[in-house]
Amino acid sequence: MGAATAAAPVSVWRMLAVVPPQLAALALMLHTETDFNGRLGFLLAWGLLNCAWIAALRRPALSGALSLTMVVMLVLLSRLKHDIVQMTANFVDLMVIDRDTIAFLFTIFPELRWSVIGTVLLIIPLMYALWWLDPIRIRRQPALAGAMLCLSGLIGYATAWPDEAWRGYYDDGYLSKFARSGVTAVSDFFSYGFMESDAVAADQLKLPLEQACHPVGRRPNIIMIHDESSFDIRAAAQVKVPPGYGAHFKSFDGKARKFLAESNGGPSWFTEYNVLAGLSSRSFGRFAYFVTRIASGRVERGLPLALRRCGYSTTALYPANGAFMSARNFQTTTGMERFFDAHDLGSSHVEPDRFFYDKALGLMPQQGAQQPFFMFVYLAANHFPWQTKFRPELTPDWRALGNAPVVEEYLRRQALSVTDYAAFLARLKKLYPAQPFLIVRFGDHQPEFSPQLLDPDLDEAGLGNKLMAYDPRYYATYYAIDALNFQPVDSPAIMDTIDAAYLPLVIQEAAGLPLDPSFAEQKAIMLRCNGLFYACRNGAEARRFNRLLIDAGMIKNL
């Protein structure tokens, strides 16, 4: 009798181990999910996790604790990702996780390694204790039925409220967005893989021959400049600009040309893919956010490879860690022979443009006078945030124009970019008075505040819809062609407005270089589509071209 009485509180105490994870999950849901739809998605995902663990372990306390651990880790990783790239975690992060991403995180957050080790050392004994304490055993069949019911509900939920990519920029709804993206990502992957392409193509590309490049005239050195977040802000009529604003966006012939990027406000690597591979990130659908990571080792086609075929050496200067979005591996895949990231260049923070121009000039003599070179200079000074002043001592004569603070800072940084570029050209002329140069600059995307400037009367949903519809007003930046000791070749491909994927073609045409079969085919697409690529015939041209590249072996395993 006494032993039975003493055992009762122990059983009740053990039973209580089941409850805390469920209450903690409820509190987490109320804190992170902001509306009914998000909370419904959270509950369905939470039920799926719990039932799946119970089916495997039969212990509800341990299953709840493991489910809570996974959700908390997702929330923390989502917040970390949002701090770095302004987007929360997506199911595709799991589908394309690689060593580069892990290396990048441990490089920029060295304390993270110890946090992971400490967490593992804490969780293992806790889970063992729950395994021992949990007195309840649940049969696997009901747990599997519950998991299938929650999964069916989750699929119906994702169908009723489809995943909207623009909501990934909101710092909330971590589990519901992750779960919904899982349904849509898996569905899209089984429908067309990572990248859209036709099932078959009626014709084929000829493989480019190394000895087939015979340019007429002297080959110019080529410098391509990634002008971070830069566009002609006069597209927003209410913005006040300094005198002479706009000259920076003009080419050698006095024309201002438009460049239609495929991103707005943040993901520069979309445009990095465009201008190096010469292809569209939009072909990757919901996987576009991970385009450079997916393309690494798979898309063996691009501007650097085409230039190497014509005898060029290829070099890139990158302002961040080379593992970020697999930039080093991606650029190497497209033909970049030498890649210098922030560590290689001796940078530990955001640098003004002149830093990268000076580094580029320092690397040029190493190229050799007999071999022309291609250099990709990736600038970063005009990157967000614009709420704080970047190196104010570099613009002592700047005077406020009466705009909103972020716009004022944006214009000040643009003015600094103009000054640094002019100084770079002057030094280039002095150091290389006889060598020919073709210099092509482009704005990789508009700043994140541009939609509100362009359409101040629209709410967030309205702006989001326009972004998702690829309203060209939200994606238009500029591209400009400059030259030293060289006359750019006139070509119908140098249009007033081009999609970003055509810039490699424009560069080769302006340089007077023979096109390999893939770029010759792409030129034909450009001319019949009037400068559009993915948007031409609702993506049909891009899908056909992707199939041609796959059949030619230039795109693999996509």
Q: Where are the domains of the chain?
A: 7-192, 210-390+405-551
How high is the pLDDT of residue 6?
Answer: 41
Q: pLDDT tens digits, residue range 96-108?
A: 666 656 665 555 5
Is the predicted pLDDT of residue 529 greater than 50, yes or no? yes
Type and span of the H or E element at 425 = helix 405-431
In single-letter form, the type of residue at position 2 comes to G
pLDDT value at position 3?
40
Which residues contact residue 190 at a Cβ distance below 8 angstroms, ignoring those fewer than 6 apart? none
Name the pLDDT band for 418 (thresholds 50, 70, 90).
very high
Reply yes or no on whether the pLDDT at 69 is more than 60. Answer: yes
C-alpha angle 410-280-282 in degrees, rounded to nearest 5: 85
Q: Does residue 504 contact residue 299 with C-beta atoms inside 8 Å? A: no
Sign of CA dihedral 309, 507, 354, 341: negative
- The string of pLDDT tens digits covering residues 105-132 is 555 556 656 666 666 666 677 666 666 6
Task: State mean pLDDT over 243-261.
Answer: 96
Give the mean model confidence (pLDDT) for residues 318-340: 93
Residues 375-406 as b or e (16 or more Cβ within 10 Å = b)? bbbbbbbbbbebeeebeeebeeebeeeebeeb
**Which of the pair, 368 or 54, is modelled with greater confidence?**
54
Tokens of 43: 């509950």
Would you say residue 10 has pLDDT above 50? no
Q: What is the DSSP letter of 381?
A: T
Q: Which pLDDT does position 359 carry in this prediction?
A: 97
Helix (H) or strand (E) holding 210: none
Please give the pLDDT value at position 1. 41
Q: What pTM did the predictor assign?
A: 0.83
Given a cut of 60, is residue 261 above it in pLDDT? yes
The distance in angstroms from the start CA to the end CA of the chain is 69
Backbone angles phi, psi at 182, to 5 degrees: -65, -45
480 forms beta bridges with: 441
Q: What is the pLDDT of residue 8?
A: 45
CB 89 within 8 A of CB 81: yes
Class of domain 210-390+405-551: alpha beta
pLDDT digits (tens, 9 = 90+) for 178-191: 888 888 888 888 88
Amino acid 214: pLDDT:
80
